[in-house]
Amino acid sequence: MKRILWTLSSVLAAFGIAAAALVTLNLRGEEPLPASETLQSTPALVARGEYLARVGNCMACHTTQGGTPFAGGRGIETPFGVVHSPNLTPDQGHGIGRWTSAEFWRAMHHGRSQDGRLLYPAFPYPNYTQVTRADSDAIFAYLQSLPAAADANRTHALRFPFNTQAAVAVWRALFFVPGEPVAEPAQTAEYNRGAYLVNGLGHCTACHTPRNALGATTDSKAFTGGLIPVQNWYAPALNAAHEAGVKQWSTEDVMALLQTGIAPHGSVLGPMAEVVFRSTQYLSDADAHAMAVYLQALPQQPDRPAPGARPPPPAAAMARGGKVYEQQCAQCHGDQGRGEFGAFPALAGNRAVLLADPTNVVRVILQGGYLPATAGNPRPHGMPPFQHLLSDDDVAAVATYVRNSWGNQAPGVGTIEVYRARERRGL
């Protein structure tokens, strides 16, 4: 009996120690909130906050299609279920009208809501923790200036145990540490500004870094590319010349891509088109230049090894793909895949076409590809979807064809990869 009681007490003691450690880790860096609001809003602060909210692309997640801006309700699909974005308008009942700037800062910096709940990291506070208090206050002042919308917040639809605060606490204890922007003294002020925008508000690593089984990223793999499970697109590596690295580009071309969505060496499609449309096209020239400088300075991955003596793709697939290409694609992209700059991207030598992961090629064929409408490219061309015209075999064949024609060399695409692309998005 004594042994049983001793064992039970040991287990309870261990549980208590673990729980205390979990609480401590989830409170690290937090300070008591002030008793009242201290922020004094001004028109200049609101205007700055509007700009910063665009840089952070806040509206994209906090607005449903056709809904009131920032009224929340958009479902963010994750491998663990659906997280619904909250209402950020100053509505007293459903928005953040009763919040203080300190509570908003705590959400941005520590991932904790007004009532103390731990927020799900679908809200990218692992990046926003690097945002300064001054910028957080400016964004808050802007949000408080918006018209109030009485849109009720929707309940998350997450599977057990991911729908519990305990699960979030464990995740945070393992993967989240509050941070702050730290300037590199050996670098220029412009480089450090670019690092702040890319890693903080811009939260570029949230997509361009692979995630582990629990949905966390690691600094050691930052910018190395990865599949975005939420949208089923591959976010290419930003530190690899054979994927989306821009080290060899001119700084002006990088700025053009960020601000217009198109540059001599490439253009944006899929999720990145939305980022440019809603966010980066509004960057000031100074901030766009700073981001370009930082992205060009990223330590580069080794060059991709030459393909060597790879077996050629099946002749039947190339013949079928060539026929589909002639009927559906050549009129825009040309017989030799050279395209037309400013209208139809070249496929010959296109890094997006040659990615080892063919997800993006398949996605574009299935659902089309549309450049963002920007001030620098107000009437962009687009590619129509072919999911209603082409079978899975046709899509696989034409993808294989464009990846292995005009000097291109890449693994062929099978129907199983097309099926997976359709299945993940319900196409």
User: Residues 6 or more apart from 331 whose CB is under 8 A from it?
Assistant: none
Whether residue 51 is found in the same domain as residue 153: yes
Q: Across the chain, what does the average pLDDT equal? A: 91
pLDDT at residue 12 greater than cutoff 80: no
pLDDT of residue 226: 87
112/226 same-domain check: no
Query: Tens digit of pLDDT for each residue in 321-358?
Result: 999 999 999 999 999 999 988 788 999 999 999 999 99
410-415, long-range: CB < 8 A, 24+ apart: 410/307, 410/353, 410/354, 410/355, 410/356, 410/358, 411/310, 411/356, 411/358, 412/313, 412/314, 412/317, 413/358, 413/361, 413/362
> Which residue shows structure tokens 């997280």?
83
Q: What is the pLDDT of residue 266?
A: 87
Burial 135-173 (b: 16+ CB within 10 A, else e): bbbbbbbbbbbbebbebeebebebeeebbeeebbbbbbb
Q: CB of 181 within 8 A of CB of 126?
A: no
Confidence of residue 10 (pLDDT cuts 50, 70, 90): very low
pLDDT of the residue at 187 = 97
- Is residue 124 domain-shared with residue 71, that is, in the same domain? yes
Q: Is the pLDDT of residue 13 over 70?
A: no
1 in any annotated domain: no
In a domain, 13, yes or no: no
Give a yes or no: residue 12 inside a domain: no
Domain that holds residue 274: 189-296
- Residue 259 in any domain: the answer is yes
Instruction: Tell me the per-residue pLDDT of 106-159, one tens digit each, with 9 for 90 and over.
Output: 999 999 999 999 999 999 999 999 999 999 999 999 999 999 999 999 999 999
CATH number of the domain within which 392 lies:
1.10.760.10
* Co-location of 285 and 205 in the same domain: yes
Instruction: Note the pLDDT tens digit of each residue in 288-305.
Output: 999 999 999 999 998 776
Asked if residue 196 and residue 171 are part of one domain, the reply reads no
Q: Note whether 201 and 151 are same-domain residues.
A: no
Decide if 324 is inside a domain: yes
| pLDDT of res. 310 | 72
Q: What is the pLDDT of residues 18-53, one digit of tens each?
A: 566 656 666 666 788 888 888 999 999 999 999 999
139, 255: one domain? no
Query: One-letter amino acid identity for 306?
Result: A
pLDDT at 221 over 80: yes
Residues 243 and 319 in one domain: no
Q: In what order do the strands lie in the sheet with 75-78?
A: 75-78, 81-84, 157-158
Q: Is residue 421 part of a domain?
A: yes
Q: What is the pLDDT of residue 425?
A: 47
Percent of the chain with pLDDT over 90: 78
Render pLDDT for 270-287 as a digit per residue (tens, 0 to 9): 999 999 999 999 999 999
Do residues 74 and 169 both lie within one domain? yes
- Domain match, 221 and 287 both: yes
Whether residue 133 is found in the same domain as residue 160: yes
Domain count, the chain: 3
Domain boundary among 149, 175, 201: 175
Cα 37–Cα 43–Cα 48 angle in degrees, nearest 5: 90
What does pTM read for this prediction?
0.90
Residues 166 and 259 in one domain: no
Q: Of the candidates 153, 175, 197, which is a domain's last residue? A: 175
For residue 28, being part of any structural domain is answered with no
Residue 305: is the preceding peptide bond cis (ω within 30°)?
no
